[in-house]
Amino acid sequence: MIRTLLLTAALACASATAQDGSATKTLRYAFPVAETGFDPAQISDLYSRTVASGIFDAPLEFAFMAWPAQLRPNTAAAMPEVSDDFKTFTFRIQPGIHFADDPAFGGRQRELTAEDYVYSLKRHYDPRWKSPNLYLLENAQILGLSELRSKSLDEKKPFDYDTPVDGLRALDRYSFRIRLAEPQPRFLYNFSDGSFTGAVAREVVEAHGDKIGEHPVGTGPFRLAEWKRSSRMLLAKNPNYREVRYDEAPPASDARLARIAAEFKGRRLPLVDQVQISVIEEPQPRWLSFLNDEQDVAEGVPAEFADVAFPNNQLAPNLARRGIGMQRYPRASVSVTYFAMEHPLVGGYAPQQVALRRAISLAVDIDREILLVRRNQAIPAQSPIAPGAWGYEAGFKSTMSEFDRARAKALLDMYGYVDADGDGWRDQPGGAPLLLEYATSPDQNSRRLSELWQKNMEAIGLRIVFKVAKWPEQLKASRAGKLMLWGVGWSAGQPDGDTFLALGYGPNKGQANHARFDLAAFNALYEKQRSLPDGPERQAAMDEAKKLMIAYMPYKVHVHPISTDLWHPWVKGYHRNIFVREFWKYVDVDPSRKPH
């Protein structure tokens, strides 16, 4: 059922003018995948988190124009106090920050307090919400919270939010402290993401219950004004948003960003009145909507249009004449296919089971995938760790991207995956049928990838069928452990390779670790690198960990995508920082320059 959430007329999208009488500034762009909801305790997909990041405020944020990535205070009054052993973190929140209005507040203006952050963090431990991001906090071992969660599960009682724990408590109205069992040198990165550690008001959660994902109320620059599920989202400027001024320091080498920073300095954020996000899953209509001026920004231009939009990675002359801008950048992300490690066919740790996965990996023609499907807008991946993340090494080489059908066939032959019944297809050792089932989506790009997978597998004698469903449906099935193979992307919200190694950490099964890989040697290395400060010792542990992932192949890591964004000339100040999802508040729109 389509749910439409409407606020007051002052926020409604039908309004053609802002409250001061000027033309409404609306930034329009499109997602290629549908959202799932907007509750920080329940979401993990990129698109839902992007929307939520503009609604909820984390204590910290990444500076919009700084590179390398740099943390700075957001709702925090200053950077947190961190103990020398990286076990204690003390946050102090600015007074005078208020939530967007909601009936749950009984008509009063509701101030953000330290208790809101304590409550919001505890929600991830509440079994009721099945938080897919709980692993990030459990890995940090906040003292007492896992025990509180276990008590709720064991006694089959509601989670007790009011019981204090040593690891998380408010010190006063505006301060809270977190204490960890083990050192976590990069723990603060978790507090830069409003879609994860953003503050949620307890009154709102209790008022809306299981429907809280449809009623996001935060302290951020925008609020949800309208939502037609899997179709359209409208975010309107939050009238209660505190006074925040544009103040960015770009790299000295970037003249364009320096001009923007100088022009916008001191302007109050957000710069636009509304953000309108459409869901357009097929690449062609999404691209045409941009060309037809129906979208202001084309974020991540579909690869199939690379040759017409930016041949040889230069903006096409016809687009340049229209004043369209372009930014090309590597994402801190990977495109992977996971093997369900608990599945009796493709899972397991015995040599013959590893051999099947490695043979499948060797049969995947990555160069052809990049050329035909991704149109040269990606680079082959050598490991799970992506560019832009600490731990990535540009010179690292492995068999991850190797294409060798002869070796794939030899591996299958050696371990007994042969055609036992003479029907032309390989069977399992012992003669049982061997049929791969690959989960995919109905969009055109996914169909192309499926066609390539079919050719690759047929070339080595393996049968494969495709389980087609919308992305949110596949996500639900994956979390439940019901898929055999699934091709997905994984993006970092912070500049650290731990994000990608977390894909293989055993305790993360069903959360980040959709493959459900669980190897003691890998787990030990993951835990070791997590506790070390950045440096050679940590890099060595990460290298060993990623080698184990390559050897056991729970994930076939295909590529690291390269993205290109385009924007129309009436969009001012556009920039892409890969660790700032909610870029909207920094971008302006000049309605007078739009075609009418």
The string of pLDDT tens digits covering residues 450-464 is 999 999 999 999 999
Q: Give the confidence band of 13 by pLDDT, cuts at 50, 70, 90.
A: very low
In a domain, 503, yes or no: yes
In a domain, 293, yes or no: no
Backbone angles phi, psi at 301, to 5 degrees: -55, 130
Relative to beta strand 71-73, strand 435-440 is unpaired
In a domain, 324, yes or no: no
Domain-terminating residue out of 169, 203, 218: 218
In a domain, 228, yes or no: no
- Separation CA 342–CA 330 (nearest Å): 33
- CATH at residue 377: 3.10.105.10
DSSP 259-300: HHHHHHTTPBSP-SSEEEEEE--SHHHHHHHHHTTS-SEESS
191 touches 200 (CB < 8 A): no
Q: Give the confidence band of 102 by pLDDT, cuts at 50, 70, 90.
A: very high
pTM attached to this predicted model = 0.86
In a domain, 122, yes or no: yes
Q: Give the confidence band of 192 by pLDDT, cuts at 50, 70, 90.
A: very high
Relative to beta strand 88-92, strand 26-31 is unpaired
Strands in 222-228's sheet, in edge-to-edge order, are 26-31, 274-279, 232-237, 222-228
Mean pLDDT over 334-361 rounds to: 98
In a domain, 252, yes or no: no
In a domain, 250, yes or no: no
Q: Sign of the C-alpha dihedral, residues 117, 200, 126, 172? A: positive
H-assigned helices in 198-240:
202-208
- Separation CA 457–CA 157 (nearest Å): 49
Q: Give the confidence band of 6 by pLDDT, cuts at 50, 70, 90.
A: very low
- Domain limits at 542? 333-562
Q: What spatial distance separates the first Cα and last Cα of the chain, rounded to whole Å?
A: 34
77 touches 94 (CB < 8 A): yes
Q: Within 13 Å, how many C-alpha atoms sit on residue 379's CB side?
A: 16
| Number of residues assigned to the chain | 596
Same structural domain for residues 427 and 556? yes
- Separation CA 263–CA 594 (nearest Å): 21
427 touches 412 (CB < 8 A): no
The whole-angstrom distance between residue 121's C-alpha and the CA centroid of its chain comes to 19
Q: What is the DSSP letter of 112?
A: P
**Count of domains forming the chain:** 2
pLDDT tens digit sequence for 498-546: 999 999 999 999 889 999 999 999 999 999 999 999 999 999 999 999 9
Same structural domain for residues 197 and 339? no
Give Dmax over CA atoms of the chain in angstroms.
77
Same structural domain for residues 78 and 211? yes
Domain-terminating residue out of 186, 218, 250: 218
Q: How far is CA 36 from CA 42, 214, 421, 490, in A?
A: 9, 10, 45, 16
- On average, the pLDDT of the chain sits at 94
What's the token pair of residue 16?
């053609």
Mean pLDDT over 41-63 rounds to: 96
pLDDT tens digit sequence for 418-430: 999 999 999 999 9
pLDDT above 80 for 59: yes
pLDDT above 60 for 64: yes
Same structural domain for residues 394 and 525? yes
- CATH at residue 116: 3.40.190.10
- Separation CA 87–CA 502 (nearest Å): 20
DSSP 404-438: -HHHHHHHHHHTT---SSSSSS-B-TTS-B-EEEE
In a domain, 411, yes or no: yes
Q: Write down the pLDDT at residue 139.
A: 85
Q: Write down the pLDDT at residue 10.
A: 36
pLDDT tens digit sequence for 253-267: 999 999 999 999 999
Same structural domain for residues 62 and 209? yes
